[in-house]
Amino acid sequence: MQVFAHRGVSGEAPENTLAAIQLALKLPICGVEVDVFACEDEYILIHDRWLTRTAGLAKRLDQMSLAELLDTPVGEHNSETQYIPTLAQVLTLDWRNHLLNLELKSIPNMRHFCDYLVQHCKAANIAPTQLLISSFHHGYLDEIHQIAAHYTRGWLTASYLLNRAEQAARMGCQWFNIDADVVDLAIVSDAHKRGLKVAVYTVDESADLIWLQQIGVDAVFCNHPGKAQAYLDKRKA
Ligand code: G3P
Ligand code: MG
């Protein structure tokens, strides 16, 4: 079972920051998941529409300019203030040994986003195969498929419905990414039958790791991915 860092190593550094991602890139794990919002003509890494939880600021993203957002502290790591990074900054990191899972939160212009990805990945020598693009907005996954069919896509869901995997497969997605609270053996088997890999979020308990591995889950998103990977490696040894 593969391990992805959820929002970077969000158990040790502020989520979706360069510090959290850099911690993840030092680990022997499969990949790193981050959340992406469009802002003006840029893309930034943040999970919530509101800055209340991440920055302690009662403001919505769309009430702030890009410059203001990039200047907003979102916590500290090793006494260094962390800021919201741009996707361009993240793409300059070393992605040779890790997949980058971009979870699309709000992307109003998919063509612009795809052009941006091509431009920055080319500059950083990142192959499209190193990206996994996922979203709860299934329309986005469809748009990406029409613009750039070569990207690997993950169909996100938090709900318990067997025909979700059918829809994901019909849309040509490769991954079916589901909440740990609703996944079960029937869902995993159904997704596998349809040729989809299954990834589960968010998993930090060792008992859950064992259970998910037993029901055939292919990957997990963890806030403490180093610990999860070490635990899985130890069990394999
Ligand atoms: O992509 C997996 C997971 O991050 C989806 O949920 O809310 O943590 O972005 P959320
Ligand atoms: Mg996410």
User: Relative to the CA of 103, which ligand 1 atom is closest?
Assistant: 1
pLDDT digits 0-9 by tens, 131-167 = 999 999 999 999 999 999 999 999 999 987 767 888 8
Find out whether the beta carbon of 155 lies less than 6 Å from any atom of ligand 1.
no
Phi, psi (5° rounding) for residue 134? Answer: -130, 160
Find out whether the beta carbon of 33 lies less than 6 Å from any atom of ligand 1.
yes
Token pair for residue 187?
Answer: 């869902």
Find out whether the beta carbon of 177 lies less than 6 Å from any atom of ligand 1.
yes
Average pLDDT, the chain: 96
In CATH terms, 2-236 corresponds, of 3.50.50.60, 3.40.50.10780, 3.20.20.80, 3.20.20.190, to: 3.20.20.190
Ligand found nearest the CA of 154:
1
Token pair for residue 38?
Answer: 């469009």
ipTM: 0.99
Domain ranges of the chain: 2-236
Phi, psi (5° rounding) for residue 81? Answer: -65, 135
User: Relative to the CA of 199, which ligand 1 atom is closest?
Assistant: 2
Q: How far is the CA of 125 from the centre of ligand 2 (A)?
A: 24
pLDDT digits 0-9 by tens, 210-227 = 999 999 999 999 999 999
Find out whether the beta carbon of 135 lies less than 6 Å from any atom of ligand 1.
no
Residue nearest ligand 1's atom 6 by CA: 201
pTM exceeds 0.90, yes or no: yes
For residues 148 and 114, the answer to whether their CB atoms sit within 8 Å is: yes
Residue among 202, 194, 192 nearest 228 (CA): 202
